[in-house]
Structure 1
Amino acid sequence: MGYSVIQKDFYRESGKYLSSFQILKKCFSPNLHYIYIFRKTQKHYKKSIIGSLYKLILRHYQIKYGFQIYPQTQIGEGLYLGHWGQLVINPKAKIGKNCNIAQGVTIAQANRGKNEGVPVIGNEVWIGPNAVIVGNVVIGNNVLIAPNAYVTTDVPDNSVVVGNPAVISSKANATENYINNKV
């Protein structure tokens, strides 16, 4: 059976594939509610009437919950927002599958300098609270970005990133026990 992107996102939270009714029941959680509206908006983005309606609804919940994630942002299945509040992701950023993003995170564009551009983030990346990733940087797969880290350089696969400025250490199982219920 093929599961929808929404089912895969909600699987990350529960470890179970849920029915549409079960998903709607879980939408009392602000982070899951936002993911649901975000994915619906992405699905209908280019459709005139329903797309416009979903864009308005998404804008309302961006303001209400503090998530600044736009429907044109490319985010792979299995997105997990651990907590709600003050999350900013540039709409041109690209984020892979099975990524965890905590509160206070900024994934931003650099408008000048050698890193002008937006981040590309791989699969199975855990981004801790208040971490900042800025500019034309590539974050590899299986990367743990610690809370409050400030990342302005590329990060290879299988790494842990801590501090400001970022210090990168190689670690084979960097996200083990941090990213659960992978899709």
Structure 2
Amino acid sequence: MLKVLKEDIDTIFEQDPAARNYFEVILTYSGLHAIWAHRIAHGLYKRRLFFLARAISQISRFFTGVEIHPGAKIGHRFFIDHGMGVVIGETCEIGDNVTVFQGVTLGGTGKEKGKRHPTIKDHALIATGAKVLGSITVGAYSKVGAGSVVLKDVPDHSTVVGIPGKVVIKNGSKIDKDLNHSDLPDPVADRFKELEEELKNLRNEVQQLRKGTSEHGDKVVQYANEAKRNV
């Protein structure tokens, strides 16, 4: 248990450049408090002490702004950056070295039974305000862009952006842990650029046709005038 607690603290120093010392991290990081409370609640949940587990999770939610259902399975070195507004559902499964930012929801899509929340594999990153909904899988080393809504499986080593989320494959290569929020691919904007290029090409073709028609018309008039003169 002490080893796991130290892992949680060391992860913050690795991921957050604002972390200065152990004293500050232990006392002021709400994401860390939420994770520790969840580890206790999850232990009680596995022992079928459901009410006590849920009570601890709700107390943690009140103080940290992070709601993690005690049934959720969370791996090692899980990092919640800032944390406010994060929601993690009951059947959610999170691997090792996963990072989520504030406002993230790992939720369900309805009242179905069984596995109804996402599975987040190792080294994945879920950016600010993203929503990952349903019994889907976000692959290892994949990233979900800020504000995205993901409703389908995400392959390993991929980036998802947009509403609904669109997958941009990075040539099957490993994606860096850092996520540059200002440099995310935008499939909607890319499609608009393609349409603009097609429209430009069509305009050029129309102009060429008009020019050809005009030249052809001039020749017809010229031939007609010459025929009149010959007559």
TM range, normalised to the smaller chain? 0.7 to 0.9
Q: Relative contact order, CA 8 A, sep 6+: which one is greater?
A: 1
% of aligned pairs identical?
Answer: 25
Are residue 176 (structure 1) and residue 173 (structure 2) matched? no
CA distance in 2, matches of 1:44, 1:77: 18
CA distance in 2, matches of 1:37, 1:122: 22
Question: 1:85-139 CA deviation, whole Å, 9 max, x = no partner?
Answer: 11111111111111101111111112279xx832111110110011001112111
User: Residues 107 and 33 of structure 1: is their aligned pair in 2 closer, same or farther, counting only changes over 3 Å?
Assistant: same
Q: Secondary structure of the residue that 1:6 maps to in structure 2?
A: helix
Give the C-alpha shift of residue 9 in structure 1: 1.9
Letter in 1 for 2:71: Q
Q: Is the 8 A contact 1:94 1:119 kept in 2?
A: yes
User: Residues 91 and 47 of structure 1: is their aligned pair in 2 closer, same or farther, counting only changes over 3 Å?
Assistant: closer
The runs of 5 or more residues in structure 2 that have no matched partner are 15-21, 180-231
TM-score, scaled relative to structure 1: 0.78
Q: Secondary structure of the residue that 2:122 maps to in structure 1?
A: coil
Q: Secondary structure of the residue that 2:38 maps to in structure 1?
A: helix
Q: Secondary structure of the residue that 1:104 maps to in structure 2?
A: coil
**Bigger CA drift: 53-62 or 72-81?**
53-62
What is the match of residue 28 of structure 1? 28
Letter in 1 for 2:154: V
TM-score, scaled relative to structure 2: 0.63
User: Residues 112 and 52 of structure 1: is their aligned pair in 2 closer, same or farther, counting only changes over 3 Å?
Assistant: closer
The runs of 5 or more residues in structure 1 that have no matched partner are 16-21, 179-183
CA distance in 2, matches of 1:55, 1:112: 19
The structure richer in strand per residue is 1
Question: 1:34-74 CA deviation, whole Å, 9 max, x = no partner?
Answer: 2222223333445699x976654432121222211022200
Letter in 1 for 2:36: Y
User: Residues 25 and 48 of structure 1: is their aligned pair in 2 closer, same or farther, counting only changes over 3 Å?
Assistant: farther
User: Residues 142 and 25 of structure 1: is their aligned pair in 2 closer, same or farther, counting only changes over 3 Å?
Assistant: closer
Q: Secondary structure of the residue that 1:161 maps to in structure 2?
A: strand
Q: Secondary structure of the residue that 2:28 maps to in structure 1?
A: coil
Q: Secondary structure of the residue that 1:41 maps to in structure 2?
A: helix
What is the match of residue 91 of structure 1? 90
Which structure's CA Rg is the greater one?
2
Q: Secondary structure of the residue that 1:160 maps to in structure 2?
A: strand
The structure richer in helix per residue is 2
Give the C-alpha shift of residue 4 in structure 1: 2.8
CA distance in 2, matches of 1:39, 1:64: 16
Q: Is the 8 A contact 1:89 1:107 kept in 2?
A: yes
CA distance in 2, matches of 1:56, 1:112: 22
What is the match of residue 8 of structure 1? 7
